[in-house]
Structure 1
């Protein structure tokens, strides 16, 4: 699971030692991965966390494979250089293009996301499930593997939905806005009409849209996201190598952005009310 290769010589020297007391890193294209951070803090309350938002390049959904891979590798490597003992790529789009290349390139454990289609397949009563995600995620091999392994053998139909304006809306703090509800009504009404009863939120920004979805559609959809599964997988990976933080005190969170902290802070504070001061990170290509 963890690649044993090295990065370029400029990144391979003077790295901080990685022991149980070192932080977990979380990388996302923006602030959506804070939903995963919330699950990690619940499952692993004593772990310190460094969160890196690549706000200078968000959203990733319209970028090509080479661009997404380069940005993801650079971001994860920056967290590696800060001494993180494990990194979670909390971005479905980044995982669709970059998970395996990053694991092969860097010498640290990397946990990725797959849309939570498997539990949705087992929960649906109508036999119809929808996945709301970016086009890259919807067309990626990770999702197709779950469709092939779980949905098709169980006779479950999977409807793929995307709306490129949703991620920027969440980034701007508009997850509960009238605009969000209007977009969700537009994109999800066909799923409702098709008999979908289980909706997979296949982007880490989208759990923040759950209240708006429920306000617009009531209990028509059971919602699924990957946050809890990723948090538990992270705990299992750390337990397997005796790398859980032994401290009994609450873990500390640090938030960094490749963009302008002043522009990112309002969105972070809305989604994470107890967030610390957002700091700037200079992330160099690998």
Structure 2
């Protein structure tokens, strides 16, 4: 099993208090950067450690046990690198194994799940479409989430194979990606969906393309800021918010192609 490279330790010396420790964020690739951007915007004084587990992507093709083992290894790495909280910025990992991860570690662990509840509340037709990876939609955790919040709404599930590799390749406005999106979105609209849930953090980076295809009458539900706010609440409850007035440095690591990761960061980490 590949061990992730060490984090860059350049930057200001760390204070000794727990509140000055870092927030660890990881995903199977670059999708979690959208969550990290929301965390950075909401909590500018926190120090972020981000891991893209691209060397083991896509998680959607792996078993729950494999995903959990990767989550465990990365969490240990982040804790060894001074993380005070962990954000699992991946819908597939959250639905597959976050409960098991929380049972193993005592630090706050925040997950991300498709925004079914806000989508149902926003819908006027009572028909909600969920765009997600096939693996996320197949998990018992997602089925429970959908059943819990659906109420009288009709939840349409749309697996979206092929999108994540294109996003990882930075083909964000390519004809191939747009064609795939049209094939996934149009059937949902034809069935009356007026609200679309982005059930994969990667999809946040193509939200504008999705909105353009769906049209102005369709509501797009994203959850990255909700995750950042939940992280803020948990840190506040535990007295772990960083009180420093200075912006904190961000540190990034990948288990995949570092040259590609640098290009991804240059294009997507624009704050």
What TM-score do you get using the length of structure 1 for normalisation? 0.86
Give the unaligned 5+ runs of structure 2.
1-14
Contact 1:114 / 1:142 at 8 angstroms: preserved in 2? no
- CA distance, structure 1, for counterparts of residue 50 and residue 123 of structure 2: 34
In the alignment, the residues of structure 1 paired with residue 251 and residue 60 of structure 2 have an alpha-carbon distance, to the nearest angstrom, of 26
SS of residue in 1 equivalent to 2:201: coil
Give per-residue Cα distances to partners, 1:9-68, cap 9 Å, x unaligned. Answer: xxxxxxx97700011000100000000011111111111100000010111111111111
- d(CA) in 2 for partners of 1:215 and 1:97? 31
Seen in structure 2, the aligned counterparts of structure 1 residues 220 and 174 have a Cα distance that, compared at 3 Å, is farther
Alignment match, 2:12: none
Question: Of residues 168, 173, 180 in structure 2, which corresponds to 1:171?
Answer: 168
Pick aligned residue for 1:244 from 241, 245, 248 = 241
* 1:267-278 correspondence runs (5 A): 267-273=264-270
1:143: Cα distance to partner?
2.1
1:159 alignment counterpart: 156
1-structure distance, mates of 2:262, 2:225: 25
Residue of structure 2 in register with 1:196 after alignment = 193
Any stretches of 5+ residues in structure 1 without a counterpart? 1-15, 275-286
Distance 1:23 1:186 in 2: 41
Number of aligned residue pairs: 257
**Equivalent position SS for 2:24:** strand
| Structure 1 position 58 matched with structure 2 position 61 | no
In the alignment, is residue 261 of structure 1 matched against residue 270 of structure 2? no
3-state secondary structure, aligned to 2:46: coil
Equivalent runs, 1:40-119 vs 2, <5 Å = 40-119=39-118
Bigger drift between 200-209 and 73-82 goes to 73-82
SS in 1 for 2:19: coil
Q: Contact conserved, 1:116 with 1:200, CA < 8 A, in 2?
A: yes
Q: Quick one: which of 216, 219, 235 aligns to 2:213?
A: 216
User: How has the CA–CA distance of structure 1 residues 17 and 80 changed in structure 2, closer, same or farther, with 3 Å as cutoff?
Assistant: farther
Matched residue SS, 2:59: coil
- Displacement of 1:267: 1.8
Return the alpha-carbon distance in structure 2 between the equivalents of residues 178 and 267 of structure 1: 19
Please give the TM-score of this superposition, normalised by the length of structure 2. 0.91
Name the Cα RMSD after superposition: 1.5
> Are the equivalent residues in 2 in contact too, given 1:115–1:200 (CA < 8 A)?
yes
